Every structure is written in C-alpha cells, then in structure tokens.
Amino acid sequence: MKKISILGSTGSIGVSTLEIVAELPERYRVVGLTAGNNLLRLKEQIRRFRPLLVAVPDPEDARRLRTELGSDGPEVAEGVEGLIACATLAEADMIVSAIVGVAGLVPTMAAVEAGKDVALANKETLVAAGSLVMEAVTRKKIRFHPVDSEHSAIFQALEGHRLEDVRQLILTASGGPFLNSGLAQLKQVTPEAALAHPNWSMGRKISIDSATMMNKGLEVIEASWLFSLPADRISVHIHPQSIIHSMVEYIDGSIIAQMGIPDMKTPIAYALSYPERLPLRLPPLDLCSLGALTFSAPDKEKFACLGLAYEALRAGGTAPAVLNAANELAVAAFLKGEIGFTDISVIIRLALDDHHPEPLHHIDEALRADRWGRDAARRAIDSMN
Ligand code: NAD
Ligand code: MG
C-alpha cells in the first residue's frame, strides 16, 4: 500500500490522480490533499478519500472547511506552511506535485528535502529552480518521476540505455489550437479559443501555454534538468496527432519513441507505480485506425515563446525563473482580457531583455527572481496600455 499526498488535488492532474486511486484502492491510500480554490470539489474529495491532513492557502477557506467538516473531518492546515505540512507529512510515501505555477516550488522542494518520493507534474518548479531541485534530489537519493507526458516518454525511452549514447531528445508538440492559423489571425484570438485544446483536456494556464507553445519551451527547460542535457541537444517537433509522446535519438541513429492515447492517466500511473505498470481502464490505442503520424518543425516566428524559453535556458541562472514569472503574469492578464494573445511573448521578451541573470544558490534567489519577473512584466503591460 503506497500512501500519497496530492498537492493541487482539485486540478486536472489532481483529479486524474484520484481517479487512478479510486480504481486501485488496494494499492493506494490518500493521506494528504491541498487545493488553492474549488472548496466544493475539495470537500467531496475529503469525504470520499478520507485524508489525514488537508491544506488550503487562504486562512478564511481553512476556517470554513473546519466548521463544515466538523470534528469527524481531517486536520485542516492553512497558508504556505499548510502546503509544506502536506508535502512533508510523516505518513506519506510519495507526493504528487500538481499545483500550477511557481506556487508549487516551495512545497515541492520541502517534499524533496523531507526525503519523500515525488511524482512531478508542476514543471514550473524545475523551470524556476532546476539546479537547486535536482541537487536536492541527488543528495536525498529520492525517486523523482516525471508526470509530464513528454518527460515520462523520454524516461521510458531512456530505460536500459546509457546517457552518453544519447544524441538528442525529441519533444513532440501538438501545436495547439492555432497550429494552422496565420500570424495576423493570432492577434484576434480570444481566451475561449485559446483554451480549446484539440487533443488534451487541461487546466487554464497550461492550455494557454500550449496555445503559445510556451508549454513546450518550459518542457525543454524541464527536460534539460531532468535528463542533464543542454539546450542544443533537445529539439521540438510538431506532431499534431499527440500519439508519440516524445522520443530519444541515439548516436547510432536509432530513435526510440513512446506511444499511447493522449490521456494523462498513463504517465501519472507510471510515475506512481514505477517500475511496475498499472492495469488502467483506458481505451486501447487503435493503431489500424490511426492514419498518418506526421512531424514538422515549429514556426519560430508564430511561436516566439518557444525561442524565448531556449534563450532563457542558455542564459541560465535566474533567467528561466524570470521567463516563467513573466509568462505567468502575462497569461493571467490575457485571460482577464487586459492584453492580446500575441502580447504574451512581447511582454516576456521585454522582461527578459531587462534582466541580468545571476547564479542561483538558494531557493530564495529563485523566488526573488520570480517577483522581479512579475514586476517587470507588470511594467511592460502598463507601458503598452
Ligand atoms: P489546474 O489549474 O487544473 O490545477 C491546479 C491545482 O493547483 C488546483 O488544485 C488549484 O486549486 C491549485 N492551485 C492553484 N494555485 C495555487 C496556489 N497559489 N497555491 C496552492 N494551490 C494552488 O492545473 P493542471 O492542469 O492540473 O496542472 C497542474 C500542473 O501540472 C501544472 O504545472 C501543469 O503545467 C502540469 N501539467 C499538467 C498537465 C495536464 O494535462 N493538465 C500535463 C502536464 C503537466
Ligand atoms: Mg507535456
């Protein structure tokens, strides 16, 4: 029986994780849950999965939960301290890190430092502070399994191979809802259109990141830290069918790919159960009715965010934290209707150009760079309006 604590249980990844737990109650028990909002869904999850500890960032939400759950309910913690308590819970064997954004960094790092195994969905953690997180993962000798489908695919394609035999990693990208739109059309894009991903059902922030292809940029940085390879050995191919989830090319020219239907339950389950595989109740991939699997190079002009992420990775130090922060702020501004879709990359460009990257020694420096990136993006938005 593996005991798990889920950070971000009410989100897309959190809910899929709980669906797997519900299918396999003899293998998994939920001991901790956290949510940033959607108390209604959190309460349902508490009733169903009976965790020992629950945490919400807002003290008012915590008070309300305590009253509504009564004396039979679990302990309810609040604030960042509450998230850390869930991430380091003595009873938990594994933490599923599924908060969205840099808000996941502090609790995820706390889990690693507490020696917990981690299933990582929260890519922003590695973007903002990859060097520090991976140093702690190595020092603590924990299991740190990728949930992101691309990284799960690469992890699987690397198994049994030597890193020195790798020529490059090839991340696949669907291209999002605007793969076939012209640059001029992108200027008119509404949040509703940008949120409608053709293949995957995901949270709002990552859906916008997929539409701008910043998601793939963040994944390039994530892959660089997870698999210890530099930017020039990670490439991105557009693959609109989202069947091949990513590939590894070896020095003998051989390419190993991992395939499956686009459902996050598969990579979540593998992160939970590695090295075993779980008998998931998902429709099989019907190879004979698939048709062609196609690949092409991304349009660099249309998807400027992808190039910005490569730039930040090459610049190193605090640059990726600033890229991530400016992106988070710009995406939120786009969703509120404050800026246009194509302004997202312009704002990140301005923030990065203004930034002088510094080396990262401590998580506080990553958090400071994050605040700096948000301020720079805010200034850029104000100057545009
Ligand atoms: P989501 O928006 O659906 O859910 C996010 C969760 O985090 C929710 O439970 C929310 O309440 C919580 N949260 C948000 N802000 C918070 C804060 N400030 N403090 C504490 N909790 C907070 O997001 P998602 O789509 O499930 O994505 C979660 C993470 O997984 C992201 O980093 C994303 O990039 C990554 N990821 C998601 C998918 C996917 O298919 N959804 C795939 C790969 C990677
Ligand atoms: Mg992904």
**What digits encode the pLDDT tens for the residues 235-257?**
999 999 999 999 999 999 999 99
The pLDDT of residue 80? 98
- Region for residue 358 given its phi and psi (left: phi exceeds 0; alpha: psi -120 to 50; beta: otherwise): beta
The pLDDT of residue 371? 98
Ligand 1 site-directed mutation target among 7, 15, 174, 206, most atoms within 8 Å of CB: 206
The secondary structure element, H or E, covering residue 146 is strand 144-146
Ligand 1 site-directed mutation target among 6, 10, 12, most atoms within 8 Å of CB: 12
Burial of residue 254, with CB atoms counted within 10 A of its CB: 0-12 exposed, 13-18 middle, 19 or more buried: exposed
184-205 mean pLDDT: 92
**Which runs of consecutive H residues, i.e. helices, occur in the chain?**
12-23, 39-49, 59-69, 79-87, 105-113, 123-140, 149-158, 183-186, 191-195, 204-212, 214-227, 265-273, 304-315, 319-335, 343-354, 363-384
The yes-or-no verdict on residue 199 having pLDDT over 90 is: no
Q: Across all residues in the chain, what is the average pLDDT?
A: 97
CATH number for the segment(s) 2-142:
3.40.50.720
53-63 mean pLDDT: 98
Query: How sure is the predictor about 201, in pLDDT bands with cuts at 50, 70 and 90?
Result: confident
Residue identifier of the C-alpha nearest atom 13 of ligand 1: 36
The pLDDT of residue 198? 86
The rounded distance, in Å, linking the Cα atoms of 381 and 330 is 8
- Region for residue 38 given its phi and psi (left: phi exceeds 0; alpha: psi -120 to 50; beta: otherwise): left
The model's pTM is 0.98
Query: How many alpha carbons lie under 13 Å from residue 201 in its C-beta half-sphere?
Result: 8
Q: What are the tens digits of pLDDT across the range 356-383?
A: 999 999 999 999 999 999 999 999 999 9
Task: Report the amino acid identity of residue 23.
Answer: E
Query: How sure is the predictor about 51, in pLDDT bands with cuts at 50, 70 and 90?
Result: very high
Residue 200 or 107, more confident: 107
The pLDDT of residue 102? 98
Percent of the chain with pLDDT over 90: 98
Q: Which residues of 106-124 are buried (b: 16+ CB within 10 A; e: fewer)?
A: bbbbbbbbbebbbbbbbbb
Rounded to the nearest angstrom, the distance between the alpha carbon of 97 and the centre of ligand 1 is 9
The yes-or-no verdict on residue 200 having pLDDT over 90 is: no
For 169, phi and psi rounded to 5 degrees?
Answer: -95, 140
Q: What are the tens digits of pLDDT across the range 102-161?
A: 999 999 999 999 999 999 999 999 999 999 999 999 999 999 999 999 999 999 999 999
The pLDDT of residue 341? 98
Burial of residue 300, with CB atoms counted within 10 A of its CB: 0-12 exposed, 13-18 middle, 19 or more buried: exposed
Rounded to the nearest angstrom, the distance between the alpha carbon of 166 and the centre of ligand 1 is 31
Q: What Cα–Cα distance (Å) separates residue 255 from each residue in 173, 208, 220, 313?
A: 17, 30, 18, 25
Domain residue ranges of the chain, discontinuous segments joined by +: 2-142, 148-311, 316-385
The pLDDT of residue 285? 97
CATH number for the segment(s) 316-385:
1.10.1740.10
Residue identifier of the C-alpha nearest atom 31 of ligand 1: 100
Query: How many alpha carbons lie under 13 Å from residue 156 in its C-beta half-sphere?
Result: 24
Residue 244, helix vs strand vs coil: strand
Q: What are the tens digits of pLDDT across the range 253-277?
A: 999 999 999 999 999 999 999 999 9
Residue whose C-alpha is closest to residue 108's, from 124, 97, 119, 121: 97
Q: What are the tens digits of pLDDT across the range 297-312?
A: 999 999 999 999 999 9
The alpha carbon of 267 is separated from its chain's Cα centroid by a whole number of angstroms, namely: 12
> Which residue ranges have their beta carbon within 6 Å of ligand 1?
8-14, 35-38, 57, 98-100, 103, 121-124, 148, 200, 202-206, 264
Ligand 1 site-directed mutation target among 15, 44, 97, 99, most atoms within 8 Å of CB: 99
Domains 2-142 and 316-385 share a fold: no
* CB atoms inside a 10 Å sphere around CB 359: 9
195-216 mean pLDDT: 94
The pLDDT of residue 269? 98
73-98 mean pLDDT: 98
Residue whose C-alpha is closest to residue 309's, from 147, 82, 124: 124
14-41 mean pLDDT: 97
Residue identifier of the C-alpha nearest atom 18 of ligand 1: 103
Query: How sure is the predictor about 36, in pLDDT bands with cuts at 50, 70 and 90?
Result: very high
